[in-house]
Amino acid sequence: MNRFIPMIAAAAIAIAGGAYVMTQTQTSLPGVSMAVAQDADVVPAKDMVLGDENAPVTVIEYASYTCPHCANWHRDSFKQLKKDYIDTGKVKFIHREVYFDRYGLWAGMIARCGGDARYFGINDLIYTGQKEWVGEGDPTLILENLRKIGRTAGMSNEEMDTCMTDETFAQSLVAAYQQNATADEIRSTPTFMIGGEKYSNMSYDDFSAAIDSKLGE
């Protein structure tokens, strides 16, 4: 079952758990609330884009790193979408993170810490390894598991420490989530905007048909 996002409650949820401590550095993670993220001084994080900027169809995925259905979609459909549409210049793909919980935010911080060039590779590691890094839900182990993913992607502990203790960085991610999910009325994940039209989770055949209709094929 897709996880519903209660928009009113989300406005008051504290996402990032500042009471938890990073195992190696003993520095606190940033505490970020939805109310803080709405501050006018917070600049929302930019979109992460894959494919031709001028592709005829834009596909936006709204997904949570802790959502099993999102992990399944990446496992079952994303590689085929990339081969058939993104790599061929037909689709510009945008991945937008939805934060149900602090663990999803931590994963987003690790993914973006690697920079644009490594983002989608780290995305793949996070989704395909979701069950392993989430484990039994222990915050300390989750954080260390995410750091292992970061090291696999070539990041140093120092790089990740800098990202994971940057409160402004965390606020920008939450602000982007708020702004985009509110504008597109996102209430569950994964949700897709294909050529400006909203779709819920579906098979790859149906996904492909929706894109083809926008391409006029």
For residue 106, the domain's CATH number is 3.40.30.10
Is 136 part of a structural domain of the chain?
Answer: yes
Segment 75-92, tens digit of pLDDT: 999 999 999 999 999 999
Segment 144-195, tens digit of pLDDT: 999 999 999 999 999 999 999 888 898 899 889 989 999 999 989 999 999 9
Among 143, 128, 133, which Cα is nearest to 29's? 143
Is 153 part of a structural domain of the chain?
Answer: yes
Is 139 part of a structural domain of the chain?
Answer: yes
Q: Which pLDDT score, from 0 to 100, does residue 14 have?
A: 42
Segment 39-81, tens digit of pLDDT: 557 899 999 999 999 999 999 999 999 999 999 999 999 999 9
Is 217 part of a structural domain of the chain?
Answer: no
What range does the domain containing 120 cover? 7-190+198-208
Q: Please return the burial class of 183, using the count of CB atoms within 10 Å of its CB with bins 0-12, 13-18 and 19+.
A: exposed
Quick one: DSSP state of residue 46? P
Burial call 145-174: b when 16+ CB within 10 Å, e when fewer:
bbbebbeebebeeeebbebbbeeebbbbbb
Residue 47 is inside which H or E element, if any? none
Is 215 part of a structural domain of the chain?
Answer: no
Is 63 part of a structural domain of the chain?
Answer: yes
Is 2 part of a structural domain of the chain?
Answer: no
> What is the domain count for the chain?
1
Strand partners of residue 49: 94
Is 32 part of a structural domain of the chain?
Answer: yes
pTM for the predicted model, two decimal places: 0.85
Is pLDDT larger for residue 102 or for residue 89?
89
